[in-house]
Amino acid sequence: MERNEFEKKLKELFNNWEMPPSPEAWQQIKNRLPKPDENAFFWRKPLAAMLILGLLSVISWYVVSYVNNSTTTKRQASPITINTTNQSAKQNNNRIGSSNNDTELKKDTLNAKVSLNHNRSVLEPLVNKENPSYNTIHNKQTHKKHVTQMDDNTDNVAFNKDIKIEADKNAYLEYRYNDLIAVHPRIDIPFVSNSPSNLLANTPNIKIQPIDASQIRLFSNSTLQPKKMIAGRALQWSIYMDNGASWQSEIPSTPSSPPDYEYNIDELKTIKYTYSYRFGAGITVPLIKNFSISGGLAYTSLSTHRLLGELVNYQSVVRRGNEGFMQVNSYYTSNGPNGMTNQYTTRQNFIEIPVSIGFQVNPQSRLPISLNVGASILKQLYVDDIYYDKQSNIFYKDNALTQPTQWHFNASAQMAVWKNNQFNLNVGPYYQIGLGTAYRESLMNMKRWQMLGIRLNLGFKAK
Amino acid sequence: MFDQKKVLIDCLKGKTDAQKKLYEHFAPLMTTVCYRYTKSWYEAEDVLQEGFVKVFNNLEQFKGDGELGGWIRRIMVNTAINYLRKNKKYSQEADVEVVPEQMSKDVSPIAGLQAKQLAEIIQRLPSGYQTVFNLYAIEGYSHLEIGEMLDIGESTSRSQYLRARGILRKWIETELEEAKK
């Protein structure tokens, strides 16, 4: 049937008819659409970070000392002393003139005398005597403040100069020697006040104590970046990897319940420290003050080495703690021919849900340190374990003897060795210990897992 | 200025701003398309929302070999049909007086009406008639295609269209007469 003028007219009429939908319609549609940008943020960055982290962790495992020397605090063996004293403690006259309006003065201005002494033999190779200087950092901007001269006539190289410091509570001073910079992290604190009157009131109390040599930290110039994100101070995702040694230890018995060694199916003397690892991801949520809480998911592999003899494919009977006797179809002797032994790696792999509380010790520092303690529940995914039967003096394999669900306590210290506004890389020791036995209670095997290692943690700010 | 190519690329990247631009460009026409297949603005907006969600979720399937507006319109029509089917609108066939079809080429009855008035008259048709009428007279589908879309016979589509057309003609004339009074 051919369409006649009626349909054509109708089509034309309706094709030119428009009516805007209600304003809420778009919002409804938008709410139902996937958010690929957020998904990308959620998955792609962690994936990339995980790869980087894996690489870094391997490197760190072998060259921990090198990493520490190059990225963390370098302490001078020879004594270095920086004396910073407020000599005149005078306010900027112009600011005093406007002191009637206290609110206009946002920063403190102070004239002070900075004196620097150090042992020539230590620092001279680092110092361009022609042009030593110091900088102040204020609101993320570096201001080269002063150039002074060295005194060549003494063993100690020194300079004494009047300086003018504009500082708020976020500022700090650097002393620069060519490519190396000494930082006193707390030098800014005495200068904090909000008004000229406060400044006047506080000035007599300004005392910048001589700085102990251990407080002076020298950084490579390229690593100096003020005001970075600090782990635990913002909502952030993190990815971490632990590399370390794991072992099993006997849980101390209480006098009321001495272990029945007759039934003890294992012995500690054959267990060695073994390489173990963990990798995981989590989220850190800031709590009050410097506290934060973290949670996540991890994959953990714990292992030990056992020294045993040769495999014998013959039936034997072993005792499984107080569960009675069991027949095994093969076993390992406790010693090989002529006393030779083979190494057998037992391994238990877990999926782990750790939760921990963190505390930022020094959040304003250039190398902030956080302490974390927590607990985790581990669900066993894989086991390859071998046991010693004291009565028959053989080792036998039985993967049904382990505790499938375990609780562990963990503690770690983390130092942010690199950070910017989005990321921070933290490194530090990690320790974990089982709160119960690694094996079923009925076996009278009182061993639990322990692990000590280095944690490498990459944090990135959540949107 | 609506730069369709750029908007499409950005939409495929999932950019919300681009999605909104595309929506704002096509939504006014698509609202009226949905309105013609439903019984109220509320229903039309439900279909519109469902349709645009499908559009954005399947945008990578648009090959660019036709008009984007036509592609979106087909999605809206299919969404409307699914909506009617889901809500069993087809079964709600009201008793209507069957008017013998006069294959008139006279277009005068609709000449005096606005699109909105006409759409409201079409809405008074039973849903089955309304859908067939829209698909044939306005979307331009053949009765064979309509039969496949609605899972009815070609002849059923044809007869329903003729009846709908006859009823509409009568209603439109009545409407115009009342307007004259």
* Residue A82 β-bridge partners: A116, A211
Would you say the CATH fold of B92-180 matches that of B4-86?
no
CB B38 within 8 A of CB B82: no
Six-digit token string for A376: 């985790």
Answer for the pair A69, A110: CB distance below 8 angstroms, yes or no. Answer: no
* Percent of chain A topping pLDDT 70: 51
**How many angstroms from the chain centroid is the CA of residue B68?**
17
All residues of chain B having their beta carbon less than 8 Å from the beta carbon of residue A37 are 14-15
Classify A196 in phi/psi space as left (phi over 0), alpha (psi -120 to 50) or beta.
alpha
Which sequence spans correspond to the domains of chain B? 4-86, 92-180
**Given this model, what pLDDT does residue A59 score?**
66
Residue ranges in chain B whose pLDDT is less than 50? 91-107
Confidence band, pLDDT 50/70/90 cuts, at residue A61: low
**Mean of per-residue pLDDT scores for chain A:** 64
Give pLDDT, residue B109. Answer: 57
- Check residue B110 and give its pLDDT: 63
Q: Are the beta carbons of B28 and A19 separated by less than 8 Å?
A: yes
CA distance B11 to B59: 8
Residue B56 in contact with partner chain A when CB distance is under 8 A: yes
Residue with tokens 């990897």: A241
To probe the interface with A, which of B9, B20, B25, B29 has the most A CB atoms within 10 Å? B29
Q: Which residues on chain A are in Cβ contact (under 8 Å) with B28?
A: 18-21
Using pLDDT thresholds of 50, 70 and 90, give the confidence band for residue A60: low
Distance, in angstroms, between A459 CA and closest chain B CA? 26
The pLDDT of residue A55: 74
Specify the DSSP class assigned to residue B59.
G
Q: Give the range with max mean pLDDT: A223-237, A240-254, B99-113.
A: A240-254
- Using CA atoms, how far apart are residues A21 and B45, in angstroms rounded to an integer? 7
For chain A, say whether B6 makes contact (Cβ under 8 Å). Answer: no
| Most confidently modeled range among A46-60, A333-347, B124-138 | B124-138
Residue A261: name the closest of A389, A440, A387, A396 by CA. Answer: A389
Question: A4 to chain B: nearest residue by CA?
Answer: B105
Residue A298 φ then ψ, to 5°: -140, 155
> Which pLDDT does position A372 carry in this prediction?
93
Residues whose CB is less than 8 angstroms from the CB of residue B40 and which lie 6 or more positions away in sequence, other chains included: none
| Percent with pLDDT over 90 in chain A | 13
Q: Judge whether residue A373 has pLDDT over 90.
A: yes
Measure A39 CA to nearest chain B CA, in Å: 11
Residue B67 burial (10 A CB sphere; 0-12, 13-18, 19+): exposed
Distance from CA of A44 to the nearest CA of B (A): 15
Please judge whether A25 and B45 are an interchain contact, meaning their C-beta atoms are less than 8 angstroms apart: yes
pLDDT at A429 over 90: yes
Q: Which residue has the higher pLDDT, A137 or B156?
A: B156
ipTM of this complex: 0.84
* CB-neighbour burial class of residue A412 (10 A; exposed 0-12, middle 13-18, buried 19+): buried
B36 touches chain A (CB under 8 A): yes
What is the predicted pLDDT for the residue at B108? 52
| pLDDT at site B51 | 93
Q: How confident is the model at residue A339 (pLDDT cuts 50, 70, 90)?
A: low
Among A4, A21, A33, select the one facing B56 at the smallest CB separation: A33
Q: Is-contact A442 A321, C-beta < 8 A? A: yes
**pLDDT the model gives residue A220:** 32
- Cβ atoms of A47 and A74 within 8 Å: the answer is no
pLDDT category, A318, cuts 50, 70, 90?
A: confident
Task: Produce one character per residue of B19-40: b if its CB has 16 or more CB atoms within 10 Å, e if not.
Answer: bbbbbebbbebbbbbbbbbbbe
Q: Are B49 and A25 in contact (CB < 8 Å)?
A: yes
Helix or strand holding residue B18 (H, E): helix B16-37
Judged by DSSP in three states, B8 sits in helix
Cβ <8 Å between A25 and B27: yes
Closest CA relative to residue A185, chosen from A308, A27, A362: A362
Confidence of residue A290 (pLDDT cuts 50, 70, 90): confident
Instruction: Estimate to the nearest angstrom the gap between the alpha carbon of A231 and the chain centroid.
Output: 7
d(CA A408, CA A413): 17
Choose among A41, A456, A40: nearest CA to A237: A41
Closest-CA distance of chain A to residue B120, Å? 12
CATH number belonging to domain B4-86: 1.10.1740.10
- Say yes or no: B144 contacts chain A, CB-CB below 8 A: no
Q: Whole-angstrom Cα distance, residue A263 to residue B51?
A: 71
Find chain B residues with C-beta within 8 A of A1's C-beta. Answer: 143, 158
Give Cα separations from B179 to A112, B108, B115, B125, B176 (angstroms).
Answer: 94, 15, 16, 20, 5
Tell me the pLDDT tens digit for each residue of A19-30.
Answer: 888 888 898 898
CB contact at 8 A, B163 and B169: no
pTM of the predicted protein model: 0.39
CA B80 to centroid of chain Cα atoms: 7
| Six token digits for residue A147 | 């150039």
Neighbours of A457 (CB within 10 A): 27
Q: Is the CATH number 3.40.430.10 carried by domain B92-180?
A: no
For residues A276 and A301, what is the distance between their CA atoms, to the nearest angstrom?
6
Point out the least confidently predicted range of A36-45, A274-283, B69-78, B96-105: B96-105
pLDDT tens for residues A93-118?
323 223 333 333 334 444 444 444 44
Q: Which of A243-252, A260-269, A447-456 has the highest mean pLDDT?
A: A447-456
CA–CA separation, B84 vs B92, rounded Å? 10
